[in-house]
Structure 1
Amino acid sequence: MANKAVIVGISGPSSSGKTTLARLLQRIFNGTTTPTAHLNTFIIHEDDFYFPDDKIPYTTTASGETIQDWDTAAAIDLPFLSQALQYVRKNGTLPPRLRSKEDQNDRTDSGVPEATIRELRSVVQSRINGVGSIAFLEGFLLFAPPQEDHVLRSVHDAIQLRVFLPAAYGLVKERREGRSGYVTVGSAPVQEGEREVGKGGDGEIDLEAEDDRPPQNFWVDPPGYVDDVVWPRYVRDHSWLLVGDGDGVEGEDDAELVRRVGDGTRVRTDVGIEVAPGAGSAEMEDVLRWAVDLVLRFYVDGRQ
Structure 2
Amino acid sequence: MTSHTGIIGISGPSSSGKTTLARLLQRIFSKAGEDSLETFIIHEDDFYFPDDQIPYTTTASGKPVQDWDTIDAIDVNFLSSTLVYVRDHGHLPPRLKSIQDRNEKSSSGVDDGTILQLQQEVGTRLRSLRRHTGEGTASPVPRTIAFLEGFLLYSPPESENKDHVLRPVHGNIDVHLFLPAPYERVKSRREGRSGYVTSGPAPEPTLLPQRSSVSDEVDLEGEDDRPPQNFWTDPPGYVDDIVWPRYVQDHAWLLLPEGNSQHSGTLRADCQELIKTVGQGVNLRTDAGVIIAPGQGTVSISDLLKWAVEEVMKYLETAHERQ
With normalisation by structure 1, the TM-score equals: 0.91
Report the secondary structure of 1:158's partner residue.
Answer: coil
Q: Matches of 2:230 and 2:91 in 1, distance apart?
A: 28
Cα drift, residue 38 of structure 1: 5.0
Counterpart of 1:78 in structure 2 is 76
2:113 to 112, 115, 124: 115
**Alignment of 1:248 onto 2:243:** no
Query: After superposition, what is the alpha-carbon deviation per residue over 1:55-95, rounded to whole angstroms, capped at 9, x for unaligned?
Result: 00110111111100000000000000000000011111111
Structure 2 stretches of 5 or more lacking a match?
Answer: 131-138, 203-210
Counterpart of 2:145 in structure 1 is 134
Cα drift, residue 248 of structure 1: 2.6
Query: After superposition, what is the alpha-carbon deviation per residue over 1:202-224, rounded to whole angstroms, capped at 9, x for unaligned?
Result: 43212122212110000000000
1:269 to 286, 289, 294: 286
Query: After superposition, what is the alpha-carbon deviation per residue over 1:17-51, rounded to whole angstroms, capped at 9, x for unaligned?
Result: 000000000011115453xx452000000000000
2:154 to 120, 143, 146: 143
Q: Matches of 1:67 and 1:251 in 2, distance apart?
A: 26
Q: Matches of 1:112 and 1:80 in 2, distance apart?
A: 33
Q: Matches of 1:276 and 1:24 in 2, distance apart?
A: 16
Report the secondary structure of 1:249's partner residue.
Answer: helix
Query: After superposition, what is the alpha-carbon deviation per residue over 1:202-261, rounded to whole angstroms, capped at 9, x for unaligned?
Result: 432121222121100000000000000000000000001001342332243111000000
2:230 to 201, 208, 217: 217
Q: Matches of 1:248 and 1:134 in 2, distance apart?
A: 37
One-letter identity of the residue aligned with 1:17: G
Q: How many residues align?
A: 291
Cα drift, residue 187 of structure 1: 2.3
**Alignment of 1:177 onto 2:175:** no
Counterpart of 1:29 in structure 2 is 29
Question: Structure 1 runs of 4+ off > 6 angstroms?
Answer: none
Q: Matches of 2:313 and 2:22 in 1, distance apart?
A: 15
Structure 1 stretches of 5 or more lacking a match?
Answer: 189-197
Cα drift, residue 98 of structure 1: 0.9
Q: Matches of 1:5 and 1:202 in 2, distance apart?
A: 25
Q: Matches of 1:187 and 1:246 in 2, distance apart?
A: 41
Q: Matches of 2:187 and 2:64 in 1, distance apart?
A: 21
Q: Matches of 2:124 and 2:227 in 1, distance apart?
A: 44
1:62 to 57, 60, 63: 60
With normalisation by structure 2, the TM-score equals: 0.86
Q: Matches of 1:214 and 1:118 in 2, distance apart?
A: 40
One-letter identity of the residue aligned with 2:74: I
